[in-house]
Structure 1
Amino acid sequence: MAERFLADHRDTLRHVHGIGWHEWDGARWLMDEQRVDLNYAVETVKNALRELEDLSGDERDDLYKDIRKSESASGLEGMVKIASARPPMSVASKQLDADAYLFNTPTGTVNLLTGDVTDCSRDDLITKVAGAGLDDGEPEEGDGGAAEFVAFLERILPDEEVRSFVQRFFGYAMLGKVTEHVMPIFTGSGANGKGTLRDAVMSAFGDYAIEVDPAILMESKHERHGAFKMRLRGARLTFCSETEKGKRFAESTMKRLTGGDPIEANLMHKNPITFDPSHSLIMLTNHLPAVSGDDPAVWRRILVVPFDVVIPEEERDGGLPDRLKKSAPAVLGWVYDGWLDYQEQGLNPPEVVRVRTQEYQAASDVLGRFLEERTVSSPHAVVRARELFTAWTAWCHSSGEQSGTEKAFAESMANRGYVKKDRNIGRVYLGVMLAGVDDEDE
């Protein structure tokens, strides 16, 4: 019966190892959450029963025996289990969404390299579909919300260079591989439109856009289950919204999620799979999280995008978010124009973004502030390592900062060129001394 199951449903079902069954819905291979495989197995049994009417003799008896074996729950499970390991139903997870330059929409699959739009194809093994098509055409009346969306953008991002940069980044996010190891942070106080922009773009991206818990990027004592990372598989655009004030980045996690290294993840009670990242990550927050000031790899990734305009209460339109969501074709067209612009000039962050990022870095440089306030640099200066760390700990306590371990402090000092040395007075740092303290003999 497994062979019959394969023959009946070879165009409709795929089993992906480590993930589960997927059903073709005309646009993509949709992950099954309702045991559709068993429903199709029952259909195969019913088809076989109908065939009995046209058979006779041993052929009829043999088929009847197979049907009887398959009518139980264990028989149905055995049928789909065997079929799940046979081609073409059996698919490796790495085969899904494998072409980074294909962007699937309800009206066809866009080749980002050529601009061609072709019919959605089973053979592409795509599991996502956008919320609108690029070729949906203009509605009979109006412009599909394009003018309202553009006016909204100009209101919340009046700087044309910043607006164009945001458009390029969203355009780059259509690409299904990580080539830009950056994370824009959309920041500003409330009522500035950044959440409405997120919702409009997510509606246009459809399955390709997800939102993750901001706790993922914040320091925590608790290890999260790898299932949350499974949501990243195949995603193109990932939002992380509204971190709490005073929270600190989990910098190693942020670097992993914005890097290009393979990700290992697993669903509950499933074997782990490994996949290449395809997502671009954006953080939305009213409060910039705390971050160390001395890890170059972190600061190479961060791009602060200011949303400084606060919409007065009398101008706020409660119906605008829903209207922009319904304007998904216009929004996706704007995003695609950003992709074309990205191909011309890359991300090319504007000066405003660079300056805000530098200001964020300077404000985050806690050790730099300590050294500026409490120490003096001099070629002949020297300070006991323990004495400097004690002063650092006291300064952090009075400043509301985390001092960390002495080992971490030494590593941060080494990054700035201050290395511990052994001298007759013990371990010391050369070239620096506490302010108001005379130089000590080595």
Structure 2
Amino acid sequence: MSTQENQRLAGFSPCEDGDNVMQLSEIREMVEARAKAEQGTRKNTTPQNLNVMNCVMSEDAGLGELYAKLQRGRFVFNRQSREWMEFNGVHWQLDTMERAKTCVNDVIDVLLSAAQKAGVNASEALKGGNKEIAKMYESQQKTIMNRARRLWRKGGPEACLEFAQTYKEPLAIKGDEIDQEQWVMACKNGVLDLRTGTFRDGRPDDYLLKAAPTEWQGFEFAAPNWEKFLFEIMSDDAEMVDYLRRLFGSTLRGGDKEHILPVFYGDGRNGKSVLVDMISQVLGPLVGPIPSEMLLDQGTARSSDAPSPSVMSLLGLRAVFASETDEGRRFSAARCKWLSGGDQLTGRWPNDKRPVTFSPTHTLFLLTNHKPHAPSSDFAFWERMHLIPFERRFVKGEPQKPNELTRDKGLKDKLRQELPGILAWLVRGCLEWQQEGLNPPPKVLAATDEYRRDEDLLSIFIDECCLVVEPDENDPTTRVNATEFYDAFVKWYGQNISKKKNFPQRKFGKLAQEKFPKRKVGGKNWYYGVLLSPDFKSEMGLFGSSEK
């Protein structure tokens, strides 16, 4: 209720002389009018045994304490973001409409009731001939009404809120409590315990801010179109469909994630975007996009002191999706491991004074038509990689190829009708993941192994251009000169990989030594167990002998 309405109901202006004690009938009318005006809008949350006079005698600080006692569990101030939050009965939400300020009126309600009670006590004391007691109650009534006037005046509500979040039992949190409950997830109508799949009411002390906008309607809610869609995009491979359920189900847990980087790969119109879009609609603010540049090699390092909103956007998310990388780009192995691991992240919003460090709660996905290049020798990177092929293609007309299906124009509308069923599918996947682990099927493992081998340029060069033999340090016919080996690779690299960028000799030497023993003989370095093939030497014009 607005300040003007409060004043109208009270029957006086804030500028009136505060020394005039109000009549009992006027106060009673004020209380009844406010009660009628707000009837049914909220529950009575006034704490029992509330000592109003103690609060009143402490002036603004006391009014803040009174507000905190009235609103605990309903409003809280987040010191990290400097914002008030409101509990909506299921989870916390940002107080974008400044309802915390509006609800200073609840303090006024308590003050008006206390003033009415003081007036009743004064009247009864007068009737009993006890003038001193009556005078005391009249003084209390006047003091209480002066405090109420303070809250109606400019700056009064702000002072009340300031003291509420700074007194000895502040109505405030540090901010790092938000969305840290790993095994619970808020949805539209309650909270899910992901360890068991049980459903319960939300509690303020869960401190859940992000919530799925989908109602939980139980495991029985069917999603036949969703199930059909999954089998279509996975080419009727039941193992892949089951794996997707465990994979997405595992993302629901907020913390201690599987250290993985799932990459959805395939040409356009294969269903991967629709899949992610539906998951995003089910989970809402629990998931979000990130720029694919966060995963790729940028060439230059940015200042560690610079704002990092992309990192901060990960705070509290259960899954994040990066989409589409340009052909020929390269993964930054360090960034991929950092963003998909369990180490704490540190970032800063542009207007923040200090950086924020937080534990990651997300699983990172990449959707792409082009596989970025990756370092084949980085074991930790490939241990995270799950390449998931999307081989189906949905076309407008009649299918012409075995992997094609006719596109269903109304598919998204059908799937939107099944969002509670998709939520149930996700929770089932979470329970299955806890029992079985991710357990990627052979198709994912084979695709990932092939991807890694394709990125091992030296292995490709050796397969195409060299002969691998049994190394023998006493046999010069089993070795190749290190300089000649590198020069041959550079020529092959320029013709087949990139004409614009050279392959560093030091990097080549490191990779070559991982495959072949290197020895220095006669002042020259040699690799044993590999030879350049005669055909390649002829093709490239490498006619010199390395055995001299």
Shorter-normalised TM-score: what interval?
Answer: 0.7 to 0.9
Residue 431 (1) aligns with residue 528 (2): yes
Per the alignment, residue 41 of structure 1 pairs with 101
- 1:72-151 map, 5 Å: 80-85=161-166, 87-135=169-217, 146-151=223-228
- Residues in 2 aligned to 1:137 and 1:299: alpha-carbon distance in whole angstroms: 35
Aligned 8 A contact 2:86 2:100 in 1? no
Aligned 8 A contact 2:325 2:368 in 1? yes
Per the alignment, residue 327 of structure 1 pairs with 418
Per the alignment, residue 44 of structure 2 pairs with none
Q: What residue identity is the alignment partner of 2:177?
A: Q
- Residues in 1 aligned to 2:187 and 2:278: alpha-carbon distance in whole angstroms: 16
Aligned 8 A contact 2:233 2:271 in 1? yes
Aligned 8 A contact 1:383 1:433 in 2? no
1:320, distance to aligned residue in structure 2 (A): 1.3
Shift in CA distance, 376/92, structure 1 to aligned 2, threshold 3 Å = farther
Q: How many residues align?
A: 429
Shift in CA distance, 283/6, structure 1 to aligned 2, threshold 3 Å = same
Residues 29-48 of structure 1: CA deviation (Å, up to 9, x unaligned): 1234x473xx5336527944
Q: What residue identity is the alignment partner of 2:428?
A: D
TM-score by length of 2: 0.70
Per the alignment, residue 173 of structure 1 pairs with 251
1:404, distance to aligned residue in structure 2 (A): 4.9
- Residues in 2 aligned to 1:235 and 1:375: alpha-carbon distance in whole angstroms: 49
Aligned 8 A contact 1:239 1:283 in 2? yes
- Residues in 2 aligned to 1:49 and 1:349: alpha-carbon distance in whole angstroms: 61
Shift in CA distance, 433/350, structure 1 to aligned 2, threshold 3 Å = closer
Which protein shows a greater Rg?
2
Shift in CA distance, 222/326, structure 1 to aligned 2, threshold 3 Å = farther
Alignment equivalent of 1:344, drawn from 430, 435, 439: 435
1:51, distance to aligned residue in structure 2 (A): 3.5
- Residues in 2 aligned to 1:395 and 1:104: alpha-carbon distance in whole angstroms: 56
Residues 298-357 of structure 1: CA deviation (Å, up to 9, x unaligned): 111111111111123132222212331342101111112212221221111111111111
- Residues in 2 aligned to 1:268 and 1:414: alpha-carbon distance in whole angstroms: 46
Residues 66-99 of structure 1: CA deviation (Å, up to 9, x unaligned): 97599556x7666545544454532233322222
Per the alignment, residue 24 of structure 1 pairs with 87
C-alpha RMSD of matched pairs (Å): 3.2
- Residues in 1 aligned to 2:343 and 2:81: alpha-carbon distance in whole angstroms: 20
Alignment equivalent of 2:342, drawn from 245, 256, 260: 260
Residues 232-275 of structure 1: CA deviation (Å, up to 9, x unaligned): 12111211122222221122111111111111122222222222
- Residues in 1 aligned to 2:149 and 2:66: alpha-carbon distance in whole angstroms: 11
- Residues in 1 aligned to 2:207 and 2:547: alpha-carbon distance in whole angstroms: 70
- Residues in 2 aligned to 1:290 and 1:410: alpha-carbon distance in whole angstroms: 20
Shift in CA distance, 66/277, structure 1 to aligned 2, threshold 3 Å = same
Per the alignment, residue 396 of structure 1 pairs with 493
Shift in CA distance, 438/352, structure 1 to aligned 2, threshold 3 Å = same
Aligned 8 A contact 2:314 2:362 in 1? yes
Aligned 8 A contact 1:20 1:31 in 2? no
Gaps of 5+ in 1: none
Per the alignment, residue 288 of structure 2 pairs with 210
- Residues in 2 aligned to 1:137 and 1:305: alpha-carbon distance in whole angstroms: 27
- Residues in 2 aligned to 1:423 and 1:154: alpha-carbon distance in whole angstroms: 60
1:214, distance to aligned residue in structure 2 (A): 1.5
Shift in CA distance, 379/278, structure 1 to aligned 2, threshold 3 Å = farther
Gaps of 5+ in 2: 1-59, 119-137, 398-405, 474-478, 538-543
- Residues in 1 aligned to 2:466 and 2:78: alpha-carbon distance in whole angstroms: 60
- Residues in 2 aligned to 1:213 and 1:48: alpha-carbon distance in whole angstroms: 49
- 1:277-316 map, 5 Å: 277-314=360-397, 315-316=406-407
Aligned 8 A contact 2:516 2:529 in 1? no
Per the alignment, residue 241 of structure 2 pairs with 163
- Residues in 2 aligned to 1:30 and 1:422: alpha-carbon distance in whole angstroms: 68
Percent sequence identity over aligned pairs = 26
Aligned 8 A contact 1:178 1:279 in 2? no
Shift in CA distance, 374/154, structure 1 to aligned 2, threshold 3 Å = closer
TM-score by length of 1: 0.85
Per the alignment, residue 186 of structure 1 pairs with 264
Aligned 8 A contact 1:186 1:306 in 2? yes
Shift in CA distance, 384/365, structure 1 to aligned 2, threshold 3 Å = closer
Residue 95 of structure 1 aligns to a residue whose secondary structure is coil
Q: What residue identity is the alignment partner of 1:149?
A: W
Shift in CA distance, 367/62, structure 1 to aligned 2, threshold 3 Å = farther
Per the alignment, residue 455 of structure 2 pairs with 364
Aligned 8 A contact 1:49 1:67 in 2? no
Q: What residue identity is the alignment partner of 1:199?
A: D
Alignment equivalent of 1:269, drawn from 351, 356, 359: 351
